[in-house]
Amino acid sequence: SLIMEQLLAKFLNFTKPLNLVLEKVNLKEISDESFYQVSEYSKRKDIVFVPKIPDDLSFVEGDKILLKQCFQNLFQNAFESMPKGGKLAVSIQEDKDGLKIEVSDQGVGIPADILDKIFNPFFTTKEKGTGLGLSLVKKIVNLHQGKIQVQSKLNSGSKFIISLPKELQQTTELSEPREKVYYLN
């Protein structure tokens, strides 16, 4: 919807730091809920969810709403890249620095010549796309002091690799009030 696009555009154009509302977040729950919501919304039953996430996964410190948006956008992209269906695998592992999240699909893949552009705001290959989905994902990962990479080959799927710290380093006091954050369901 247009309103959503305008909100996203505003969100991406924030010049001030975003005031994250931090809590202990269970990424297993977020991943499960996000898959359920994307598959309900898309009315598709041909995508098989393959989670490899330990039950005793450590919590991360983060903004639950934004992290959920991050997963939903990645899953939405995966669904769109698999028009004939397929598997969407999510693995989350712990290492000494934090959590490593891998989201893999069996989709059409990303051509090599655009791989380095996919996180740019407004870059899209879709007819009706805004090009905001992955730039928003990257922005949310950055806000959580994490990193994101992508590996993809044409016709053999894509894998997004995100590393997030378990706890955020102290950042300078943020002055943006929460009302400026748009709730994106």
Report the alpha-carbon distance of residue 87 to residue 51 in Å, rounded: 10
pLDDT band at 32 (very low <50, low <70, confident <90, very high): very high
Cα–Cα distance, 15 to 139 (Å, whole number): 12
Phi/psi for 181 (5° steps) reads: -90, 135
Quick check: 181 pLDDT over 60? no
- Residue 136: how many CA atoms within 13 Å on its side-chain side? 28
Predicted confidence (pLDDT) per residue in 93-114, tens digit: 998 889 999 999 999 999 999 9
pLDDT greater at residue 184 or residue 71: 71
If you search the block for the tokens 């999240």, which residue do you land on? 101
CB-based contact 160:31 (threshold 8 Å): no
pLDDT over 60 (residue 175): no
The conformation of residue 169, written as its DSSP 8-state character, comes to: P
Q: What is the pLDDT of residues 64-87, one digit of tens each?
A: 999 999 999 999 999 999 999 999
Of the ranges 69-73, 128-132, 174-178, which is most confident? Answer: 69-73
136 band by pLDDT with thresholds 50, 70 and 90: confident
The pLDDT, as a whole number, for residue 164 is 97
Whether 178 shows a pLDDT value over 70: the answer reads: no
Calculate the average pLDDT of the chain: 85
Q: What is the DSSP letter of 131?
A: S
Task: Please report which residue ranges of 22-181 form alpha helices under DSSP H.
Answer: 27-42, 64-81, 133-143
Contacts of 26 by beta carbon, 8 Å cutoff, 6+ apart: 57, 59
State the DSSP code for 117. G
Q: Tens digit of pLDDT for each residue in 144-155?
A: 999 999 999 889
